[in-house]
Chain A
Amino acid sequence: MEINAFIQEFEASIEGLEAGSVTPETKFQELDQWDSLAVLTTIAMADAAFEVELTANEILACRTIRDLADLVEKKRKGE
């Protein structure tokens, strides 16, 4: 999975996030748009777009968008 593909899905899913506003280094939990609904949205997006099941604690243990994309990629490969 390309990190850009992940970023596109992330930006399209989180309410109020503009396309192009996120980079691999973005600390997503510091975004204004990040709240409990964004956690649920990330879980739903990972399931719908990448067929990966995430838990909230796994997401909240990630710092950057790259960490999050790596987690999804690892799970996708069944690691």
Chain B
Amino acid sequence: MPNFDLTGKTVLVTGATSGIGRAVCSGVLAAGARIVVTGSNQGRLAGLSTDLGVERCQALRVDLTDAGERDALVKAAPALDGIVHGAGAIELAPAAFLSEEKLRSLQSLNYEAPVLLTSALAKGRKLNAEASVVLIASVAGLVGAKGHVLYAGSKGALMAAGRALALELAPRRIRVNSLAPGMVRAGMADQAQGALGDAAMEAHEKEYPLGFGTPDDVAAASLFLLSPAARWITGTTLVCDGGFTAR
């Protein structure tokens, strides 16, 4: 029988206050694990831990783009059986209007933070044997879309790094996989809607055979990758996009 149970495990969720992160937290708790949740905004983080109930939930405020704060997180974190790297940002701009500053800030949060945090947790012996690392990437890292140069580069880099990490951590049966969602009704989709307009978003949804997704859809896929049921899956990308990239 495949085993989807996370009882007795501890899972770190970054970007826990996001639409997707929050759904992952609820799912992980329901599957029986304890969680460590992080976000950079203290108020939002406090609200989240109140909602989730403090018993199996430890909240740590951290700006993941700050090396010192990442170190503090590694020190404070318990030994982990899973990580869902959900923190991320998007910046839509045409190629002629890219700035070095925007490129660096996006790269810093979407690529450097999850890679360096995973590295530091591995070095700090905070990843238990058989742990599962889930990198939340995006279909934007797999197929081109106008205005997405910076975001695509950051998520593509993340998926590539995930494959190499998977090979290095395999001796301890630690698995590393990416999850590439398409458009999900959560914070980032609202931002896209502001930049593209209501009509363009409506037209975009028509390109999704199953329509846009929900945070729970992404949470379900994350839960699978975290669970013992996925014990033979590492170094890959699970596309979760309602058929958007199937064409």
Binding site for B on A (CB under 8 A): 13, 15, 36-37, 39-41, 43-45, 48, 55-57, 59-60
Tell me the complex Cα distance, A15–B193, Å.
22
Tell me the complex Cα distance, A60–B200, Å.
10
B94 touches A36 (CB 8 A): no
Q: Tell me the count of chain B residues lying within 8 A, CB to CB, of chain A.
A: 15
Q: Say yes or no: A41-B195 contact (C-beta < 8 A), given A36-B200, A56-B200.
A: no
Question: A57 contacts which chain B residues (CB < 8 A)?
Answer: 194, 197-198
Of the candidates A15, A43, A45, A48, the one whose C-beta lies within 8 Å of that of B195 is A43
Tell me the complex Cα distance, A37–B194, Å.
13
Of the candidates B94, B193, B198, B199, the one whose C-beta lies within 8 Å of that of A40 is B94
Question: A56 contacts which chain B residues (CB < 8 A)?
Answer: 193-198, 200
Is B97 interfacial (CB 8 A cutoff)? Answer: yes
Residue of A nearest to B203 (CB): A36
Question: A55 contacts which chain B residues (CB < 8 A)?
Answer: 194-195, 197
Q: Contacts A37-B147, A39-B196 given; 6 further ones with Cβ under 8 A?
A: A40-B94, A40-B146, A44-B93, A45-B97, A55-B197, A56-B194
Of the candidates B96, B97, B146, B197, the one whose C-beta lies within 8 Å of that of A60 is B197
Query: Interface on chain B toward A: helix, strand, loop, or mixed SS?
Result: helix
Is B157 interfacial (CB 8 A cutoff)? Answer: no
Question: B200 contacts which chain A residues (CB < 8 A)?
Answer: 36, 39, 56
Residue of B nearest to A41 (CB): B94
Of the candidates A13, A15, A36, A45, the one whose C-beta lies within 8 Å of that of B196 is A36
Question: A60 contacts which chain B residues (CB < 8 A)?
Answer: 197, 199
B194 touches A40 (CB 8 A): no
Of the candidates A39, A44, A59, the one whose C-beta lies within 8 Å of that of B97 is A44
B96 touches A40 (CB 8 A): no
B197 touches A41 (CB 8 A): no
Binding site for A on B (CB under 8 A): 92-94, 96-97, 146-147, 193-200
A37 touches B146 (CB 8 A): yes
Tell me the complex Cα distance, A59–B147, Å.
17
Within the complex, what minimum Cβ distance (angstroms) separates A44 from chain B?
A: 4
B96 touches A13 (CB 8 A): yes
Residue of A nearest to B147 (CB): A40
Within the complex, what minimum Cβ distance (angstroms) separates A8 from chain B?
A: 15
Tell me the complex Cα distance, A60–B193, Å.
13
A sample of 13 cross-chain residue pairs with beta-carbon separation below 8 angstroms, ordered by A number, consists of A15-B96, A36-B146, A37-B147, A39-B195, A39-B196, A39-B200, A41-B94, A44-B97, A48-B97, A56-B197, A56-B198, A57-B197, A59-B197
Residue of B nearest to A40 (CB): B147
Tell me the complex Cα distance, A41–B98, Å.
11
Within the complex, what minimum Cβ distance (angstroms) separates A62 from chain B?
A: 12
Question: B198 contacts which chain A residues (CB < 8 A)?
Answer: 56-57
Within the complex, what minimum Cβ distance (angstroms) separates B155 from chain A?
A: 18
Task: Name which of B93, B94, B193 has the most chain A CB atoms within 10 A of its CB.
Answer: B94
Question: A44 contacts which chain B residues (CB < 8 A)?
Answer: 93-94, 96-97
